[in-house]
A = this chain, B = another copy of it.
Amino acid sequence: METPLSPLDFARRARRLYADREAVVDGDLRLTYGRLFERCDRWSSCLQGLGVEKGDRVAVISPNTHSHLEAYYAVPQAGAVTVPVNFRLTADDFAYILSHSGAKVVCVHPDYFEAVDSIRSQLPEAAHFVALEGSREGWLDYEEMIAEATAAFEPVSIQETDVISINYTSGTTANPKGVMVTHRSTAMNIMGHLMHTRLTSADRYLWVLPMFHANGWCFTWTITAVGGRHVCLRKADPRLIFEAIAREGITLLCAAPTVLIGLANAPEELRRAAPRGVRVFTAGAPPAAATIERIEGELGWEITHVYGLTEVSPIVTISEWRPEHALLDAAGRARIKARQGVEYLGNAEVRVVDDEGREVARDGVTLGEIIIRGNAVMAGYYNDPAATDRAIRDGWFYSGDAAVVHEDGYIEIRDRWKDVIISGGENISSVEIEGVLLRHPAVLEAAVVGLPHEKWGETPQAFVVLRPGEEADAAGLRQFCRDHLAHFKVPHGFEFISELPKTATGKIQKFVLRGGRANLSAQ
């Protein structure tokens, strides 16, 4: 017998078994699962009342709130598709995403009313704007509508291959792309989490990770599946995090490395009062050994490093604990925890391959690109078949991440694949060279890119910003690199510039550096 794989089935179970358990804490508001789902049902019936039909898109622009969480149930059970939008973007970005997704209903937290009102004229398909909190002229009132609605929404037949959400990528070099995630791939990711995280109804999850970010890595659904408690946090501030952990008895959270650094460096009185045993999932960049030591050694928490992308809905590897790891010293444990790890159970097959698609050696040195196939992989980019075809080739999703594989099969990311320099047949990580340059006392910032070379194909070229008042020349830096790198990795050229070209969010634009001096001076 087959029944559709869907987060809605986990919600159905939670509704039956955990109705009396506390589901959500959001400031002073506390909702049981019974009340949460009652509100979701009412919002589903409101959406249907607004004319939302199967496959229609409903966008949400909101920090981590109970109403944002409700969208993850109310929208798909009404047959529609959730479009969670990164609230850190500009009004122009909102306009692009809302227009590209063709959202029929746009649900917005008060912080973003003005930004959205400023672009309303650019959104002909958006028939309704909903104020998730408070009220506003020309906007529908979420709480008022829920209060007046019936919970008896019209059931919609859902196939497991139906799209449940469209999540837009950050789009550093081009417009954001809409990742279509299906009910089936989401269900597989929920199960992936539950097989690796030992979650139970005793767990209390702190919403540090934004819900919009790849559906909060699916924790919007995973916590509910086991009847755990969602504790909303509207701002990822270290003091607020420590306070919430103590007040709500938090057992689990997900956090980007920068947040972990903030926690590790928080005032001592906050750290001293923190309860032990909190489990932390982190991804994005490996946590530094010092951060791990502070959080595991001092706080007594447990860090687990995972890896994924929006396109794989989103977690596909974990630095899985093995019994032999118990024998490692602190440095050895930090080394393991810095790795992205091994593929998740059940949802994806993960390989690291060279340019010809051959798996790289398990030597911890040879760089390859991470490729992924399986149920975790997206259905494609919304209304963008060309980009889908570029990303998924011969049945594999190409992540764009460059990694090595260690002897134990654990993957470790070293660079973006497009930033890897191929010189004389060797793959060279630009990040590794930058790391060496940054250890030179005179260097403030450094970026390394590959420039075309007749003999070697490409050679590394370094762009360096010196610290104010410090001096260094190409010969000195070259010698420094020779002392710390294999010779073929030493940059052929060093260019000293006053600042590196960066995006609004601070990412270095290597494509500008590759374009050479003309582009640089245009900055």
Contact = CB atoms under 8 A, between A and B. Distances in A.
A392 interface: yes
A194 B187 CA distance: 15
B198 A345 contact: no
Interface in A474-500: none
Contacts of A10: 345-346
Given A10-B346, A321-B200, A322-B201, A3 B195 contact: no
Nearest to A182: B2
A184 B2 contact: yes
Copies in the complex: 2
A395 to B, nearest CB: 8
Interface in A93-150: none
A417 interface: no
A201 B397 CA distance: 28
A323 B201 CA distance: 7
B345 A194 contact: yes
Question: Which interface residue of A16, A198, A378 has the most chain B CB atoms within 10 A?
Answer: A16
A187 B195 CA distance: 13
A13 interface: yes
A12 interface: yes
A77 interface: no
Interface string A355-374: 00000000000000000011
A397 B1 contact: yes
A1 B322 contact: no
A275 to B, nearest CB: 16
A452 interface: no
Contacts of A322: 200-202
A44 interface: no
The contact size tier of chain A is: 35 or more
A1 B377 contact: yes
Contact of A374 (B3, B321, B397): B3
Contacts of A375: 1-3, 5
B17 A342 contact: yes
A215 to B, nearest CB: 17
A373 to B, nearest CB: 6
Interface string A166-207: 000000000000000000110100010011001011100000
A9 B194 contact: no
A38 interface: no
A107 B363 CA distance: 42
A161 interface: yes
A349 B9 CA distance: 9
A313 to B, nearest CB: 10
A345 B226 contact: yes
Contacts of A9: 346, 349, 374
Given A3-B373, A346-B191, A198 B198 contact: yes
Contact of A349 (B12, B377, B395): B12
Contact of A392 (B1, B187, B191, B373): B1
A379 to B, nearest CB: 7
A409 B226 contact: no
Contacts of A2: 161, 184, 375
A225 interface: yes
Interface in A190-232: 191, 194-195, 198, 200-202, 225-226
Given A16-B409, A202-B322, 13 more contacts: A1-B375, A1-B377, A2-B161, A2-B184, A3-B349, A3-B374, A9-B346, A10-B345, A191-B346, A194-B194, A200-B321, A225-B345, A226-B345
Interface of A: 1-3, 5, 9-10, 12-13, 16-17, 161, 184-185, 187, 191, 194-195, 198, 200-202, 225-226, 320-323, 342-343, 345-346, 349, 373-375, 377-379, 392, 395, 397, 409
Task: State the 7 A-B residue pairs at the shortest beta-carbon distance, nearest first.
Answer: A1-B377, A202-B323, A194-B195, A191-B191, A3-B374, A198-B198, A17-B409
18 contacts: A1-B185, A1-B378, A1-B379, A1-B395, A2-B161, A3-B349, A3-B373, A3-B375, A5-B346, A9-B349, A9-B374, A13-B343, A17-B342, A191-B195, A191-B346, A194-B194, A195-B195, A201-B322
